[in-house]
Amino acid sequence: MRYVFPPLLTLADTELFIVRNFMREPLGNWAIEGKDNNKLIGLVHITTLNKKRTDS
């Protein structure tokens, strides 16, 4: 995750980050957990795209 998000140095920073980025739309965020160690190894974010058509 260090390549995706800035480092979070305190527990308060981490909690705020989770609330702002993941709890606003919880159904679109999924954690990927390692089967052998039960640790977070990634995430998936599902979102909608509004594609504006330019042809008439």
15: amino acid identity, one letter: E
Beta carbons within 10 angstroms of residue 53's beta carbon: 5
CA dihedral 25, 20, 12, 35 (to 10 degrees): 40
Average pLDDT over residues 1-6: 70
Look at residue 24 and tell me whether its pLDDT is greater than 90: no
Residue 52: band (very low, low, confident or very high) from pLDDT cuts 50, 70, 90: confident
User: Please, which pLDDT band fits residue 53 given cuts at 50, 70 and 90?
Assistant: low
pTM of the model: 0.45
Confidence band (pLDDT; 50, 70, 90) for 36?
very high
Which pLDDT value is given to residue 37? Answer: 93
